[in-house]
Structure 1
């Protein structure tokens, strides 16, 4: 098997193995293993626990924070209607971030030991094991760390009263993204829109991994011409 040629033992923790793949990492990581049983990442039970997150944890943790940001913006002087509009603008900004992160960061080409290791932790594991239900959403602790620089950026470029609601909109967009992403892998949609999104995303995993970077919609793929190629 190809995996043996790359000297990766799937029965042992993977994170500190994949870095040794060097230039062959990109080929290996984009050969998916379709199993709902996820691999072990770390020998340590503590670090292993931190890599596994149930989908419902995401709205449970972050929706109260979104509500708090709206209340703070209203307290700072925005009307409820204004706060809602700002929240919507934050969701729109998130859709561009969703596309950009997926295209330019999650699919960055790596070949060094630490480059491969970090890429595998960030996104490569999802392409290798796309049905691993406990690694489809981003752990809240990691999200909290990333929110810190995002918040400072929002404060720099938005008015004082609007800043919390912009942050909340971006966070709500992220929650929608993560929950949608989980559903596209494990749900059985009955509506045309959801079925189309599922087909669109699974095409990214199993057919055209260098296109179709949108998760919640194909909007930015259309804008930046990264739609999957049509069948001849």
Structure 2
């Protein structure tokens, strides 16, 4: 297995989660360029953090704080940004919204639109975790907090992909989070915004344990971007219609 293959070659593999085994997922995960960049960032951040460390305790605190920042940041972004309508109503943001979330709900088995892109994840991580870590313990704390957030990003990306994989998890934890996340995708998208945990859903009243606890939504797959909406805000539809036939055919094979 070639480890460093680049984005173009990775996408040519046409990773469809409903046709993949767990081993296929591991291969796709470790060869995805963004995951490799994350690993490098963690390594550099930890080395720099240790080299400039003045307190092991504060370093550890910053790392843990960085890790704990991820779930709340993800919840807020997922609920209020990715599930908001304002991005597809803006020409300059429509393509970004399409890539980072609309395509994932429309084509949940397409791994290429499940994994986040560095152009969206890294700025968020650096500007959120960096200042908090710096406040805790200067440069060392900033590095620790960034490392903690990136580690949580990698962990969540893998679990998220596994939730869409066509297999029955043996782990009760994974089985539970898979059921709740798939309910978000196929039953009601206005709840269960978490991936690996649902503390913030429970805190803000958007959690439902069973599909019977929430009404079925007609917009779970299109996030409210209906044909009628597309007539007024056409940019996402135009981009979708312009996609290469090869990509459209691939997604048809991965249709849920």
In the TM superposition, 1:1-232 aligns within 5 A as 36=16, 54-56=28-30, 57=32, 58-80=34-56, 82-110=58-86, 112=89, 114=91, 115-150=93-128, 153-154=131-132, 157-160=135-138, 161-186=140-165, 188=167, 189-228=169-208, 230=210, 231=212
Q: What is the CA deviation profile of residues 85-107 of structure 1, one whole-angstrom value per residue up to 9, with x for unaligned ones?
A: 42122110111111111111110
Structure 1: tracts of 5 or more residues without a match: 1-34, 38-53
CA distance in 2 between partners of 1:155 and 1:86 (Å)? 5
Question: What TM-score, normalized by structure 2, do the two folds share?
Answer: 0.62
Q: Helix, strand or coil for the counterpart of 2:137?
A: coil
- Paired with 2:123 and 2:160, the residues of 1 have a C-alpha distance of 21
Q: CA deviation at 1:80?
A: 4.9
Aligned length: 182
2 CA distance for matches of 1:77 and 1:118? Answer: 38
**TM superposition score normalised by structure 1:** 0.68
- Which structure has greater helix proportion? 2
Q: Does the 8 Å CA contact 1:91/1:172 hold for their aligned counterparts? A: yes
Show structure 2 runs of 5+ residues with no match: 1-14, 18-27, 214-256
Report the Cα distance in structure 2 between the residues aligned to 1:116 and 1:163, rounded to whole angstroms.
Answer: 33
Question: How far 1:157 sits from its partner (Å)?
Answer: 3.8
Cα distance, 1:151–1:191 mapped onto 2, change above 3 Å: closer
| 1:24 match | none
8 Å CA contact retained: 1:214, 1:220: yes
Call closer, same or farther: CA 1:181–1:211 in 2, change over 3 Å. Answer: same
Cα distance 1:141–1:118, how it changes in 2: closer, same or farther (>3 A)?
Answer: closer
RMSD over aligned Cα atoms: 2.6
1:156 shift after superposition:
6.0
Q: Residues 194 and 68 (structure 1 numbering): CA distance in 2 closer, same or farther, change over 3 Å?
A: same
* Equivalent position SS for 2:112: coil
Measure, in 2, the Cα distance between the counterparts of 1:177 and 1:190.
18
CA distance 1:85–1:159, change in 2 (3 Å): closer
For the structure 1 residues 153 and 187, does the alpha-carbon distance in structure 2 shift closer, same or farther, using more than 3 Å as the test? farther
Given the superposition, is the C-alpha separation of residues 206 and 61 from structure 1 closer, same or farther in structure 2, using an over 3 Å criterion?
same
For residues 27-81 of structure 1, the C-alpha deviation after alignment (integer angstroms, 9 at most, x for no partner) is: xxxxxxxx949xxxxxxxxxxxxxxxx4322433212321221221221124556
Structure 1 residues 71 and 80: alpha-carbon distance in aligned structure 2, compared to 1, 3 A threshold: farther
